[in-house]
Amino acid sequence: MNLKITKKKFTALILLFLLPLASMAASKKSKGPTVNLGALLALTGPIEGMVPPILDSVNMAASEINKNGGILGGRELKLTVGDSKCSAQGGADAAKKLVNINKVSGIVGALCSGASTAAASGVAVPAGVPMISPASTAPTLTNLKDNDLFYRVIPSDAYQGLYLANLVLKKGIKKVSMTFVNNDYGIGLAKSFRDNYKKAGGTIVAESKHEDKKASYRSELATLRKGGPEALVLIAYSEGSGQTIMRQALENKFFNRFVGADGMISEKLLKRIGVKQLKSSFFSRPVASKTRAATKWEKNFGQFSKHKLKSIFAREAYDAAMILALAIQKGGSDDRATVKANIRAVSKAPGEIIEPGEWKKAVELIAAGKDINYNGAAGDHELDKNGDVPGVFGEFVVQMGNSFKQVK
């Protein structure tokens, strides 16, 4: 057999590659007008492990809507997933396809803050497509020049820093050391904590930025301990540097009291470190888990997906998709400008409250001309003028049985 690539074979190869594209264009026409939403998720890349439950959750929203009579009077809601690869290029490139080829009316995403920024400012904003991110927490996104098109249903790290600073002071701790992981999460949260803590009269005697996944942080810890801090503010991930730092600080008796944020709350951490040593430590995290809406979502998600309930950002992703769908339904059109104009209208009080799984009720209320207010699995989502949600945070301490307990 002659395996040389001739011109003919090369053309055949290219045609083969184009075939699915052509069939896709054709199939779209035959199905009639679908209402299109995009989900810009980091399917590959550094956070790929987190994504499958998020994908399931967005898909659950779409399937609930389609099962309950569809959108805009029986049309099908079609979800297209783009892979942002958690990078700026990937985000912009995938958004280009969603916006131009898939003709989406809105985008759920992106997840990583860099991908969100590039996708929003480079693609979605010029094209007038609204985006709702379920996971980008970088404070810089607050002031993005977004023409009121970029929203998020997860609080900016700036709010958690403020909460944490006040919590630490309320406990009477006036002198702390701080170390944070060197990425957008760590830097953003640390800056917000630093600013708010100092403003309210606290003193940070030493602080350091550390790289994730090193074997030893002992020298950093030795430096951080100088100046007599009462606790160590540790902004890191429990699966990464957070756990190592905590263990080495305890082993070497550098610190015995820690203040952590959402990245540190994991039961695995307690199994490895032990509850006893962390009795005086406390943690903060955005909370919404106690509401009725959240319980409903949990029940539905448990049936829909094989992934665990604890998966982070899955609730937010569901809410983002629901807000976009409700905005389409309320505006009565999948036109992008209409969607944009209705995002705040469907998520803000006052109005009849809509919770996860209540698509049918929402459609009926809208048809009756009533104002609706979506209260989601991850919170009430009262979007402010920058498109941010304030977020509710809770204080967590450890308890026996290796778990966290919310105390406030």
Strand 393-399, strand 403-406: pairing: antiparallel
Q: Contact between 34 and other proteins (CB under 8 A)?
A: no
Task: List the interface residues with other proteins, window 153-192 (CB under 8 A).
Answer: 182-184, 186-188
Q: Which stretch binds other proteins (CB under 8 A): 51-59, 197-205, 357-365, 379-387?
A: 51-59
Q: Which is nearer to other proteins, 21 or 367 (CB)?
A: 21
Residue type, 325: A
Among 109, 114, 130, 229, binds other proteins (CB under 8 A): 114
Paired residues of 112 in beta bridges: none
Instruction: Kindly tell me which of 119 and 165 has the beta carbon lying closer to other proteins.
Output: 119
Task: Identify the CA nearest to 197 among candidates 286, 284, 287.
Answer: 284
| CB half-sphere exposure, 339, CA atoms < 13 A | 28
Among 37, 51, 234, 259, binds other proteins (CB under 8 A): 51
Beta strands in 145-201 (DSSP E): 150-152, 175-181
Minimum CB separation of residue 206 from other proteins in Å reads 18
Residue range at the interface with other proteins (CB under 8 A); choices 17-25, 171-179, 236-244, 300-308: 17-25
- Of residues 330 and 336, the one with the C-beta less far from other proteins: 336
Q: Which of 52, 70, 240, 390 binds other proteins (CB under 8 A)?
A: 52
Please say whether the beta carbons of 400 and 394 come within 8 A: no
Interface of this chain with other proteins, residues 78 to 107, rule: CB under 8 A? 80-83, 85-90, 92-94, 96-97, 99-103
Interface with other proteins, residue 112, by CB under 8 A: yes
Pairing state of beta strands 175-181 and 203-210? parallel
Which span sits near other proteins by CB under 8 A: 138-146, 169-177, 297-305, 379-387?
Answer: 138-146
Quote the DSSP letter at residue 147: T
How far apart are alpha carbons 247 and 126 in whole angstroms?
48
Burial class (CB in 10 A: 0-12, 13-18, 19+), 317: buried
Asked whether 236 and 186 are in contact (CB, 8 A), the reply is yes
CB of 127 to other proteins, least distance (A): 6
Q: Does 55 bind other proteins (CB under 8 A)?
A: yes
How far is 88 from 112, CA to CA, in rounded Å? 9
Q: Is 340 strand, coil or helix?
A: helix
Q: Kindly list the residues in this chain that would bind other proteins in the complex (CB under 8 A).
A: 3-5, 17, 20-21, 23-25, 27-28, 43-44, 51-52, 55, 59, 80-83, 85-90, 92-94, 96-97, 99-103, 112-115, 117-118, 121-122, 126-127, 138, 140, 144-145, 182-184, 186-188, 209
